[in-house]
Structure 1
Amino acid sequence: MPRKAGSPPPSADGGDSKSQRTRTRILDAAAHVLSVKGFAGTRLTDVAEYAQLQAPAIYYYFPSREDLIEEVMYCGISDMRVHLERKLAELPPDAPAMDKIMTAVDSHLRHELELSDYTTASIRNSGQIPEHLRTRQKKEEAAYGRIWQRLFADAISDGEIRGDIDARMMRLLVMGALNWAAEWWEPGRGTLDGVVRTAQMWVRTGLSPAREAHP
């Protein structure tokens, strides 16, 4: 079973021990099952089967089903934030603000739809998880949102966002639309590259002053 982006890093005490690898297998399996079956349908027996373990072994690493799911939800958003920060850091220092927003659109969609079961699980189940399990996830969501806020603020400052729209409302609509792609997209509905290009065109056209709106 391949490890996907979003898997927790090796433990701080030294590395990639057998125990840590087993814990990661359990989390990877839980992320997959949660992304497919949702919070209500995720059973530890399904997680154990996907991880090729006996179900009681899970309790050695996680006290309960809720603890396991809480960790998956946190990892999904945390890893997407780190992924976006890394992609933005790869851009030239003088990259236009709108190009950075296009990079954020690309990063979000690819991480959500291709790279990480964790992120798919977090996005799809955000409204299903009990509040007491969402504390760390919500902190990461806020941190991720602040990156997008900064990107939009820079674009406004540089005159790259048209003045006749509510930029905050547009940002929330964009992020909501990107998240919703997890509910409808599958390879049979077009390539991921096509989804990314279409989303970037829509966002650029909607944000840019009329004379600058182009694919």
Structure 2
Amino acid sequence: MINALTAFGLAIGWMDIVGVLCFELVMFYMMRRRRLDEKVDDKVDLPSLEEQPVDHKTRNSLPNLLSRKQMMESENAWIFWGYLLMLNMWIAVCLLMIAGITMHKPELMTIYLIWCFCGLVIDVLMIIWWIFELFVGDAIVAMTNILISILTFAVELAFVLIIYAIYLNLSWSPDADNDKVTSYFHWLLLE
């Protein structure tokens, strides 16, 4: 039998996997669409660079983070394959976490906890970056990204606490039916 918190942990794992697969499909769609747009742009005659006036006032003093307009095609390809590798590693980590819960092996869940902790550190670094961007770049984009990063941090922290509670439950006893995890989780909410 599985208690409610363990079932919620399994739901978190499967939800992560479905979300990652959807994100990968969106990435493939965007890259395909971009390549089709580039083929159309190649067929259209564009004026030469000498004919286009350069307005130095509209240039930003610092480029936006990963701005596609200011990056070369090879850099975009590296970022795409880097994201793809990271997303597939995320799927593998989630599968390890699910296996750890279903087979009552908490050591398999440690990789997921380390992965999420690293994600929390990256979220904090991104919040710091967007606060810096708020003062030197586009304030509306920076505020939107700060709010998204804070929301991501909160959701990931909740996932870490839930999976850590399940990890403690499986570590304390090979029997998953005890109520220690429930009392620990209530203690976390009350603190």
The TM-score with structure 2 as length reference comes to 0.36
Structure having the higher Rg: 2
Q: Which has the higher helix share?
A: 2
Higher relative contact order (CA 8 A, sep 6+): 2
